[in-house]
A and B are shown apart, each in its own frame.
Chain A
Amino acid sequence: MENKNTIEMHHIDKTFGHDTSKIQVLKDIEFTAQRGEMSLVIGPSGSGKSTFLTIAGGLQTPTAGDVRVEDTPLTAIPVKQRDALRLNKIGFILQAYNLVPFLTVREQFRFVDRIKGATHMTEDELMTLLADLGIQDLITKYPNELSGGQTQRVAIARALYPNPEIVLADEPTAALDSERVTVVGQLLHDLAKKHNKSIIVVTHDMRLKQYADHIYEILDGSMRQAS
């Protein structure tokens, strides 16, 4: 039978700095994400949520431990291959939104077409997504003309546009009001259930709890399953 696991992390440690300034952010993390499921990772600010997520997506390497994305060991492959994996399999919704400042909303998507090609959404699907997120009227604007919440929603759409198998979201609702939180929560939930994607959301927004299949908590660098 096909492996349902999209991301597997074993014995992950992450430390920053050296000697006296050394801090251990993650300790012996065990984590698995599966297709068709949405996982929520919660924890207080500075607990290592972003660090965990970027290691899961191959943006940084753990100090120790093993990360596999769709059975490919991230730590063992060359940078180029890791880039390709990120480009083709993973949609990152980053905490700092990360839109390209000199491209309009429309062009943020177009640029993905150019380097990625085939698998992205159709124009209709994209328009539906933008309408769901309430940003369909913003496509000619530049990032500096958007509000924080609008930027965050564009960043969500940009990450989902290439139809990634795995979506890694860092505080995707930090700048949104309750109404939009519902929309985004439902959207991510549907992606898991209807499109069989693997969704991992890192947040301290408890309003997202109801959409998750699994909830984990990071405290003092250790992860445990929460109720």
Chain B
Amino acid sequence: MYLAWKEIKHEKLRYGLIIGMILLISYLVYILSGLAFGLAQQNTEAIDSWGAQSVILDKDANTSLQQSMLTKSQTDKMTLTKKESYVGQSAIVAKEAKHAKVSAQFIGLDWDQFIGQKLVLTSGHKPTQANQIVVDDGFKTSNYQLGDKIQFNSNTETYTIVGFTHNAKIDIAPVVYGDLSTWQTLKKLPDTFVASGIISQNAKYQPGVDQLKNYSVAAFINKLPGYSAQNMTFTFMIAFLMIISLVVIAVFLYILTIQKIPNYAVLRAQGVPAKVLVSNTINQALLLVFGGLALGVGLTALTAAALPAGVPIAFNWPILGGVTIGILLTGVIGALIPVKLILKVDPVSVIA
């Protein structure tokens, strides 16, 4: 460690640049994976917040809540427990005279069932009448407030915002929670249609109706429009970014070690064991990579705090941990690729 540290201190510019490069690379990887994960989360935030284990849909609806429809004759044959909740989903455009239009997802609920019961509000109260709604905090970025009266699509009925809730997004759009009867109105459906589907906290809930099927939440989420395609794109993007970054870091540390060989030859001539030089190389690589990573994490935290609320960024600790360990490991590997040269360094080469 002594040598490693002295060397860094003596050549501040060179080592500063390397730390700076590791900082930038880790910053890039952290921020991009944070943004990708944040966006992915917006597909499923609402579903995650319900604690759903399974989703009951029409088996011919291609696993899509929006395409599914439950009829009264079907639901009459089922018994719902406290762990099941009807939902009626409809894509809408919310508008209000003073504010910008918002593309949103309407979720109609029976407010006596678990989703309505367990919904956590950040302000306001839950609806007590059919024309009252609770909306995602995302509406606040367009300056919507409690008490605003909103129209949906081209309908003339108005609905009053009585509450806000946090982290309620589905299909990357903010959610409007309202009454199931409003869902029927939006879809222009007769009373014989009850809901789009049933969300259950019981993974094994069986509807007992031939036409309906229980889907696991994972299967359901994978079928969300664009979700798996989007995730695959991001996964590959970040994987390529990681691989290239790791190679770049490894190459830099390789060059760094190569440049040290003449100094190492001097030390070998003095009888310094090769072991000391190898551990010095590893220590120094770790020191540089740790330094760069720590600064990268700091910069990422600052950036995340400074980003406007509308930008989705979320950190998945297992992924970040993997990224961090990956960078540390490749740093050491890069520094150690020339270890054979260190071990074989010929003291005579510096004697002249």
Hey, which bits of chain A sit against chain B, CB under 8 A? 50, 54, 59-60, 80, 83-88, 90, 92, 94-96, 98-103, 107, 111-112, 114-115, 142, 170
B267 proximal to A (CB < 8 A): yes
12 A-B residue pairs with CB within 8 Å: A54-B351, A80-B273, A83-B272, A84-B271, A86-B271, A87-B270, A96-B352, A99-B266, A100-B266, A101-B263, A102-B7, A115-B272
Q: How far is the CB of A121 from chain B (nearest CB, A)?
A: 16
Cβ distance B348 to chain A, nearest Cβ, rounded Å: 5
On B, residues with C-beta under 8 Å from A are 2-3, 6-7, 9-11, 263, 266-274, 276, 347-348, 350-352
Can you name the residue of chain B whose Cβ is closest to the Cβ of A112? Answer: B270
Q: Are B271 and A88 in contact (CB under 8 A)?
A: yes
| A-side contacts of B274, CB under 8 Å | 83
**B269-A102 in contact (CB<8A):** no
Q: Compute how far the CA of A92 lies from the CA of B350 in the bound complex, rounded to whole angstroms.
A: 13
Which residue among B274, B347, B350, B352 has the maximum number of chain A CB atoms within 10 Å of its CB? B347
User: Which residues does chain A contribute within 8 Å of B10, judged by CB atoms?
Assistant: 101-103, 142
Given A87-B270, A98-B266, 10 extra CB contacts under 8 A: A50-B352, A60-B348, A92-B269, A96-B350, A102-B11, A102-B263, A103-B6, A114-B2, A115-B273, A115-B276
B266 touches A92 (CB 8 A): no
A54 adjacent to B263 (CB under 8 Å)? no
Q: Knowing A83-B273, A86-B271 touch, does A95 contact B351 (C-beta < 8 A)? A: yes
Q: Min CB distance, B8 to chain A, in Å?
A: 9
Q: Which residues of A contact B271 (CB under 8 A)?
A: 83-88, 90
Across chains A and B, which 8 residue pairs bring their CB atoms closest together, nearest first?
A: A87-B271, A86-B271, A102-B10, A98-B266, A102-B7, A96-B352, A59-B347, A60-B348
* Interface pair B348/A92, CB less than 8 Å apart: no
- Which B residues are CB-close (under 8 A) to A92? 269-270
Q: How far is the CA of A86 from the CA of B269 in the complex (A)?
A: 8
Q: Which residue of A lies closest to B262 (CB)?
A: A101
B236 to chain A, nearest CB (A): 42
Q: Which residues on the A side are within 8 Å of B352 (C-beta)?
A: 50, 95-96
Given the complex of chains A and B, what is the CA–CA distance between A59 and B270 in angstroms? 10
Bound-state CA distance A98–B272 (Å) is 13
Most chain B CB atoms below 10 A, which of A50, A59, A87, A114: A59
Contacts of B270 in A (CB 8 A): 86-87, 92, 98, 112
- Chain B residue numbers with a CB within 8 Å of A88 are 271
> Which of A83, A87, A95, A107 is within 8 Å of B6, CB to CB?
A107
Given known pairs A102-B7, A111-B3, the reply for A59 and B272 (CB within 8 Å) is no
Task: Specify which of A60, A80, A100, A114 is in contact with B263 (CB 8 Å cutoff).
Answer: A100
Chain A residues with Cβ below 8 Å from B3 are 100, 103, 111
Q: A101 contacts which chain B residues (CB < 8 A)? A: 10, 263
With the chains together, A107 CA to B5 CA distance in Å? Answer: 12
Q: A54-B348, A96-B350, A115-B276 are in contact. Are A59 and B269 (CB under 8 A)?
A: yes
Taken together as a complex, chains A and B put the C-alpha atoms of A41 and B270 apart, in Å, by 21
Decide: A94 and B269 in contact? CB cutoff 8 A.
yes
The residues of B that contact A103 with a CB separation of less than 8 Å are 3, 6, 10
- Within the complex, what minimum Cβ distance (angstroms) separates A175 from chain B? 14
Given the known inter-chain contacts A83-B271, A87-B271, A100-B263, please indicate yes or no for A94 contacting B350, CB distance below 8 A.
Answer: yes
Q: Which of A94, A98, A101 gathers most chain B CB within 10 Å? A: A98
Min CB distance B261 to A, Å, is 13
Residues in B neighbouring A107, C-beta threshold 8 A: 6
B6 to A94, Cβ gap below 8 A? no
> Are B266 and A59 touching (Cβ within 8 A)?
no
Rounded to whole Å, the gap between the CB of B176 and the closest CB of chain A is: 65
- What residues on B are CB-neighbors of A86 within 8 Å? 270-271
Q: Is the CB of A59 within 8 A of B11?
A: no
Q: How far is the CA of A95 from the CA of B269 in the complex (A)?
A: 12
The winner among B7, B11, B266 for most chain A CB atoms within 10 A is: B266
The residues of A that contact B347 with a CB separation of less than 8 Å are 54, 59
Residues of B within 8 A of A94 (CB): 269, 350-351
Distance A54 CA – B274 CA, assembled complex (angstroms): 18
Q: How far is A84 from B268 in the complex, measured between Cα atoms in Å?
A: 11
CA distance A100 to B263 in the complex (A): 6
Distance between Cα atoms of A115 and B348 in the complex (Å): 21
Contact B6 A59, beta carbon cutoff 8 Å: no
A87 and B350 form a contact (CB under 8 A): no
- A50 x B351 contact (CB < 8 A): yes
Chain A's nearest CB lies how many Å from the CB of B140? Answer: 56
Separation of A54 and B348 alpha carbons in the complex (Å) = 8
Which residue of chain A is the closest to B267 with respect to CB atoms? Answer: A100
Question: Is there contact, CB below 8 Å, between A59 and B351?
Answer: yes
* A96 contact from B2, B7, B276, B351, Cβ within 8 A: B351
A142 to B348, CA, bound (A): 23
User: Which residue from chain B places its CB closest to the CB of A116 in the assembled complex?
Assistant: B271
Complex: how many Å from CA A225 to CA B11? 48
Cα A112 to Cα B267 in complex, Å, equals 10
A100 to B270 alpha-carbon distance, docked (Å): 11
* Nearest A-chain residue to B7, judged by Cβ: A102
